[in-house]
Amino acid sequence: MPPTPRQAEILDCAAELVAESGLAQLTMKRLAERVGFTEPALYRHYPGKSALLAAMIERLGGRLLPTMEEIAGDRRLTPRERLLGMVRHHVALLRATRGLPILFLAEGLASGDRDLMASVGGVMRRYLALLGVVTAELGPAGGVSADRQALLFLGLPAAIGIQLRAFPDLALSDEETELIVQHYVRSLTLPAAPAPEKSS
Amino acid sequence: MPPTPRQAEILDCAAELVAESGLAQLTMKRLAERVGFTEPALYRHYPGKSALLAAMIERLGGRLLPTMEEIAGDRRLTPRERLLGMVRHHVALLRATRGLPILFLAEGLASGDRDLMASVGGVMRRYLALLGVVTAELGPAGGVSADRQALLFLGLPAAIGIQLRAFPDLALSDEETELIVQHYVRSLTLPAAPAPEKSS
DNA sequence: TGCGAGTTAGTGAATACTAACTCACTCTCC
DNA sequence: GGAGAGTGAGTTAGTATTCACTAACTCGCA
């Protein structure tokens, strides 16, 4: 069930509003104004706000997951290359959407809304599973099992997302971003690293 | 201005409520019930909700920053050891509070509330500055400048926080956590890593 | 007696959602 | 081809709920 043209227009406006001023500013009234008609008209296109949010998340997932699956399954690439490609794509999506995914996650965490967290969590779990498939090929590193390592590759996108929304003054250029992504994935996929000195 | 005993009691209950069911569930009414009296009585102790939230954040900062400063300034330790200690302490605080810091960050991001984001951002900036002091001693790594590297050490706590609140079923033991922290800091502080193969 | 710390009862604003209506457009039947 | 029914998509006006916050009171106590 792909969105109708009108639904797509609504989703576009909703994403704009959220990118501009956060999810709390996405009220049905403000969204209707942005689209250019009145509040009750929105309910002709979506049965309620949670359906609207779910559609937004599904749309984001559609921009994230298929490419992820493609990269994760590309056996011409080494596991390291695949992880690099996956993190790169995730970060690129974050930057292109001004941190939209992390805003949905933030809203889910802050509100405790079950449905919302189920939508967001569903996408994230599939993402983590894909990472886990690839880290499994690398094997455990530093005593950390493959599926725990997958969590680590969530770390950089999370940090980038936080920077985007909370510290826009620390903006990273495309080049800096690419360097950081490479440095990050490269470092975390080294076959063996020397043990650090014990801390007190 | 340390909190009065009654204020401390209120802050305790507020932290409990948030840990249990998210910041959206922290209403003045529910908080009053939890403390054991009625809503208007709260206003005898805090002039409003934002003052209450600010006090909660300041309290969290008080549990995070002094230890951070101590570790960052301990010149008996190598920079790697200091970073390890700082990340370890941050992660320990997250786990002890069931992800409280990331919930405040999430609320700030989702709500777009200026005052709240100023409180949260203030603590985070001081944290990032301390990390930056230490990464500066390490010098640039993989073409990433010292202050950009500081962002990276936000990545693991962020990932751990997300796991705590969004995927409690993936809970990490203390031992696993310590291994992950060590692996993470160790990997990201290697003096030089071989370049990864270029991805298409 | 004055004050700190509670109470009851209530206000106003914001929000998701709804009821009932209008109106243009299309399809059908003659 | 045109009258009439049905429908999709908008409108105005309103409801119920939830929230932070307040006014005005009570009560125990130094």
- Compute mean pLDDT per 10 residues along chain B, 200 residues long, and list them: 91 96 94 95 96 97 98 96 98 97 95 93 97 94 91 97 96 96 95 52
Angstrom distances, CA of residue B152 to CA of A69, B115, B156: 25, 26, 8
CA separation for the pair B147, A159 (Å, rounded): 13
pLDDT value of residue B38: 94
Q: Which nucleotides on chain C have any atom < 7 A from a protein Cβ?
A: 4-10, 14-20
CB within 8 Å: B197 and A80: yes
Host H or E run for residue B173? none
The dihedral built from the CA positions of residue B31, B65, B132 and B191, taken in this order, carries a sign that is negative
pLDDT value of residue A78: 96
Do you know the residue count of chain A?
A: 200
pLDDT value of residue B199: 43
CA separation for the pair A137, A39 (Å, rounded): 51
CA separation for the pair B18, B13 (Å, rounded): 9
- In our burial notation (b when 16+ CB lie closer than 10 A, e otherwise), range B132-160 reads bbbbeebeebbebbbbbbbbbbbbbbbbb
What DSSP assignment string belongs to chain A? -PPPHHHHHHHHHHHHHHHHH-GGG--HHHHHHHHTS-HHHHHHH-SSHHHHHHHHHHHHHHHHHHHHHHHHT-TTS-HHHHHHHHHHHHHHHHHHTTTHHHHHHHHHHHH--HHHHHHHHHHHHHHHHHHHHHHHHH--BTTB-HHHHHHHHHHHHHHHHHHHHH-GGGPPPHHHHHHHHHHHHHHHT-S--PPPPPP-
**Model confidence pLDDT, tens digit, residues A159-171:** 999 999 999 999 9
pLDDT value of residue A199: 43
Which residues does A87 contact at the CB level (< 8 Å), separation at least 6?
A: A153, A156, A157, A181, A184, A185
For residue A179, how many C-alpha atoms fall within 13 Å in the half-sphere facing its CB? 14
pLDDT value of residue B197: 47
Which residues interact with strand C by a CB < 7 Å criterion? A 24, 26-29, 39-40, 43, 48-50; B 6, 32, 37-41, 44-45
Do you know the residue count of chain B?
A: 200
For an interface test with B, give the residue of A172, A183, A188 to mutate (most B CBs within 10 A).
Answer: A183
Residues within 8 A of B (CB atoms), A 9-28 only: 21-25
pLDDT value of residue B155: 97
CB within 8 Å: A110 and B22: yes
Tokens of residue A25, six digits: 């500013």
pLDDT value of residue B191: 75
From the alpha carbon of A51, which nucleotide's C1' atom is closest?
Answer: C16
Say if A180 is an interface residue toward chain B (CB within 8 Å): yes
Give yes or no for a contact between B52 and B119, defined as CB atoms under 8 angstroms apart.
Answer: no
Closest chain B residue to A155, measured at CA: B155
A98 φ, ψ to 5°?
Answer: 55, 40
Secondary structure class of B153 (helix, strand, coil): helix
Per-residue pLDDT of chain A (200 residues; tens, 9 = 90+): 788 899 999 999 999 999 998 999 999 999 999 999 999 999 999 999 999 999 999 999 999 999 999 999 999 999 999 999 999 999 999 999 999 999 999 999 999 899 999 999 999 999 999 999 999 999 999 899 998 999 999 999 999 999 999 999 999 999 999 999 999 999 999 876 455 544 44
- Look up tokens 């000195």; give the residue: A197
- DSSP tag of B2: P
Secondary structure class of B143 (helix, strand, coil): coil
Q: What is the pTM of this model?
A: 0.93
Q: What is the Rg, in whole angstroms, of the alpha carbon atoms belonging to chain B? A: 19
CA separation for the pair B148, A178 (Å, rounded): 12
- DSSP tag of B45: T
What DSSP assignment string belongs to A103-145? HHHHHHHHH--HHHHHHHHHHHHHHHHHHHHHHHHH--BTTB-
Neighbours of A193 (CB within 10 A): 18
Which residues does B44 contact at the CB level (< 8 Å), separation at least 6?
A: none
CA separation for the pair A46, B152 (Å, rounded): 40
Give yes or no for a contact between B193 and A149, defined as CB atoms under 8 angstroms apart.
Answer: no
For residue A162, how many C-alpha atoms fall within 13 Å in the half-sphere facing its CB? 30
What DSSP assignment string belongs to B64-112? HHHHHHHHHT-TTS-HHHHHHHHHHHHHHHHHHTTTHHHHHHHHHHHH-
